[in-house]
Chains A and B, each alone.
Chain A
Amino acid sequence: MKIDDVLQSMQDKFGSKIIKVERKNEKRAYVDIYPKDVVLLTKYIFKELGFRFAIATAVDDFDAIEVLYHFADDPSGFIVSLRAIIREKEDPRIETITGVTKSAWWIEREMHELFGIHFDGNTDLRPLLLPDDWPTGVYPLRKNFIVPKRDSRKS
């Protein structure tokens, strides 16, 4: 399957659920979607088209939080990234995709602790990388997080 056929099939199947399709080059495409449709589209790409879940990336875009889900099609060598834009920055929420693929288990835990995104339906959002005594409500990869000055030289 070619990248154009995949993008066309998604547009035919989901119509208005797809906000924008950006075909960056012959290997990469970015598809903007609404956060509420993420499970539906993930299921289509992962289960029906058989793409591999490469990883998800959260981006703090100042007035919104974006979550990008990167899917790789190994037989044809291209990557489709679904971009869900969450406008509610105070309490960003999106449905979990761990029901579709277990490979999202750790990355959702990571995005939860580093960006404060809540994944509805994910029962295991324990800290992955940060220590257990990390203060709640402090998300280090948000743009408003200021890295504290190091004072470790005293010891």
Chain B
Amino acid sequence: MSHKAHIPIGPYHPLQEEPEFYKLVVEGEKVVDVDVRIGWNHRGIEKLSEAKTFDQSIFLVERICGICSSSHPITCVQAIEDLGGIKVPDRALYIRSIVQELERLHSHMLWAGLAGHFLGYNTVFMWGWKYREPICDIMETVTGNRQNYAMLKVGGVRRDIEKEHITYILSRLDEFIRHLDMLRGAILDDPVLHARLKGVGILTKERAIDYAALGPTARASGYDIDVRRDHPYAAYDRIKWKVITQEAGDVFAKVVVRIMEMYESVSIIRQCLDKLPNGPIDSNPKDIPPGEGIGQAEAPRGECFHYVKSDGTNSPVRHKVRAPTYMNFPTFRETVIGQSVSDATIILAAIDPCYCCTERMLIVDDKDKEILNVQELIRLSQEKTMKLKEKMGYK
């Protein structure tokens, strides 16, 4: 008689942020097989993009994911620029690098918090999300938005960085670094986390290459790839920075890579602000010729890849979007099998999966729409709190 048991997780579960379905097959507490089913978030972005103009498709891909909301647009505009051989002014390239690195900082911080949460270490969760705030504030200063920045356009960027903002950005970065130093110590020097994460969920370099793993997942396994260095875009080839790699391939190595990458990101932003050249921020291209183009960018989770084909009209004939999690996700079979079921969550979380990117979702809502401004949203929130208080008997 077989002693295998199936543990279904999802697709909808109060503890999951996004819908996905895992089927863990366990023998005792050991995971012997795993299958994952995605698709609950699939909204057909690639089909939708064929019905949009090139300018609209950048707006569209920005909404694939709330965390990588500048990685998809930068990849998309670079694919269109590759297609049309469009040149971008220097100042815009530097601003693109700054926005990309700010996004990496907030995303890695968010992940560090979530990883702490999955391990039951909720202090790290609170710290991670609290200390991410300075970055969101800088984003708001630079782009006008905490998320969905709308900074990118074909041929340049939409907004310039004002001189008076630079002092503010640098002071907030100093504040961020102080917190990051503390967080690094709290995570990397914690003997409990060492015990919990070292030697767990190992992805070997050979497997990483075979599965074409990307980003921190690959770099933690000693697979030294980074689009920013290998296929230089924006201003990454004009400043000094280094690619962080680790050899162990376990969850701990992935933590080290992400934390040390944050220091590099801060250094990149400071250098970009220091060297920021004067000049225009947009080359104002007019026509997109027929042809095909490929764009790549290093999102926080790894390489983002877009392929755009044009027939000379103002809409793409085909727009392929490949998010990094799409390549990283299948490695879970290699890393989780043979591990304890209690470690399964952190092993799956270690690739920093992003389902909405993988499934390229979008909420299309153009009928009966209701537009609310900040004050109205705050009012709604306060009304709801009041109602809850009344219901629960508080005055």
**Residues in A neighbouring B82, C-beta threshold 8 A:** 24-25, 27-28
Secondary structure type dominating chain A contacts: mixed
Is A1 an interface residue, CB under 8 A from the partner?
no
Which residues of chain B (360-384) have a CB below 8 Å from chain A?
364, 367-368
The number of residues on chain B lying at the interface, defined by a beta carbon within 8 Å of a beta carbon of chain A, is: 37
Which residues of chain B (2-53) have a CB below 8 Å from chain A?
38-39, 42, 44, 46-47
> Which of A33-41, A88-96, A98-106 lies at the binding interface?
A98-106
**Residues in B neighbouring A77, C-beta threshold 8 A:** 230-232
> Does the CB pair A54–B359 fall under 8 Å?
no
> Does the CB pair A106–B212 fall under 8 Å?
no
Contact check: which of A24, A68, A74, A103 meets B230 at CB < 8 Å? A74
Q: Mark B283-318, 1 if CB is under 8 A from A, else 0.
A: 000000001111010000001010101000000011
**Residues in A neighbouring B47, C-beta threshold 8 A:** 140-141, 145, 147
> Does the CB pair B211–A103 fall under 8 Å?
yes
> Does the CB pair B39–A54 fall under 8 Å?
no
Given contacts A54-B212, A130-B39, contact A106 B368 (CB under 8 A): no
**Residues in A neighbouring B305, C-beta threshold 8 A:** 54-55, 70
CB distance from B55 to the nearest CB of A (A): 21
Q: Mark A86-125, 1 if CB is under 8 A from B, else 0.
A: 0000000000000001110111000000000000000000
**Residues in A neighbouring B231, C-beta threshold 8 A:** 27, 72, 74, 77-79
> Does the CB pair A54–B303 fall under 8 Å?
yes
> Does the CB pair B330–A102 fall under 8 Å?
yes
> Does the CB pair B318–A59 fall under 8 Å?
yes
Give Cα A54–Cα B79 distance, bound, in whole angstroms. Answer: 14
Given contacts A54-B212, A129-B39, A140-B47, contact A153 B368 (CB under 8 A): yes
User: What are 11 A-B contacts with C-beta separation under 8 Å?
Assistant: A53-B212, A54-B303, A55-B305, A75-B230, A77-B232, A102-B330, A103-B211, A129-B38, A147-B44, A147-B47, A150-B364
Q: Which residues of B contact A (CB under 8 A)?
A: 38-39, 42, 44, 46-47, 82, 85, 209-212, 225, 230-232, 291-294, 296, 303, 305, 307, 309, 317-318, 320, 322, 326-327, 329-330, 359, 364, 367-368
Q: A107-B326, A130-B42, A140-B47 are in contact. List 10 more A-B contacts (CB 8 A).
A: A24-B292, A25-B85, A52-B212, A55-B320, A59-B309, A102-B210, A107-B322, A140-B44, A147-B47, A150-B364
